[in-house]
């Protein structure tokens, strides 16, 4: 599906509105995948991957934060973390930056992408955790991250 206007999505007893101007793509094992346009001379846009594995599935918050950070080349930098509440739900926000190691999880083949950032949100939804992960080059993330955070801050229980 290719879309440029905002549209509603749902999983695990929550709903959100996908950002207008972002495109929807179909990917295996994901609730949704969106891509934002490239900005600031970056050659690619940011990707927002959304996962729901089922109630009690997909690992806890800490395991997922570590998995996301592990998708970057090792560095001494610790991920940024912040807690917020959205419509009665706990949300853990995570940020990290560095050389992103892109590629399919089981393929073993990774493409190193320096200067990337991650902005993630783990929403403790009524039916289980929903994982929102936005990654992209720095200049594009400067434009995409506020849109991502607006989407997260407007999540509602169904």
Map out the domains of the chain as residue ranges. Answer: 7-157
Question: Taking the alpha carbons of 103, 137, 131, 27 in that order, is the dihedral positive or negative?
Answer: negative
pLDDT of residue 12: 96
| CATH number, domain 7-157 | 3.40.1000.10
pTM more than 0.75: yes
Residue-level pLDDT, tens digit, the chain, 158 residues: 444 556 789 999 999 999 999 999 999 889 999 999 999 999 999 999 999 998 888 889 999 999 999 999 998 789 999 999 999 999 999 999 999 998 766 666 788 999 999 999 999 999 999 999 999 999 999 999 999 999 999 999 99
Burial of 23 (0-12, 13-18, 19+ CB in 10 A): middle
């Amino acid at each position: 599906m290719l879309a440029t206007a905002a549209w509603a999505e749902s999983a695990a007893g929550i709903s959100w509105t996908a950002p207008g101007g972002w495109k929807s793509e179909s990917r295996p094992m994901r609730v949704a995948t969106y891509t934002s346009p490239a900005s600031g001379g970056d050659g690619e846009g940011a990707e927002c991957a959304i996962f729901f594995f089922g109630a009690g599935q997909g690992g806890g918050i800490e395991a997922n934060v570590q998995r996301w950070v592990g998708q970057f080349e090792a560095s001494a930098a610790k991920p940024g973390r912040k807690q917020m509440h959205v419509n009665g739900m706990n949300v853990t926000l995570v940020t990290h930056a560095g050389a992103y190691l892109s590629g399919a999880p089981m393929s073993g083949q990774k493409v190193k992408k320096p200067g990337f950032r991650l902005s993630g949100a783990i929403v403790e939804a009524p039916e289980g955790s929903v994982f929102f992960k936005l990654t992209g080059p720095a200049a594009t993330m400067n434009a995409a991250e506020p849109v991502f955070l607006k989407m997260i801050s407007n999540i509602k229980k169904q």
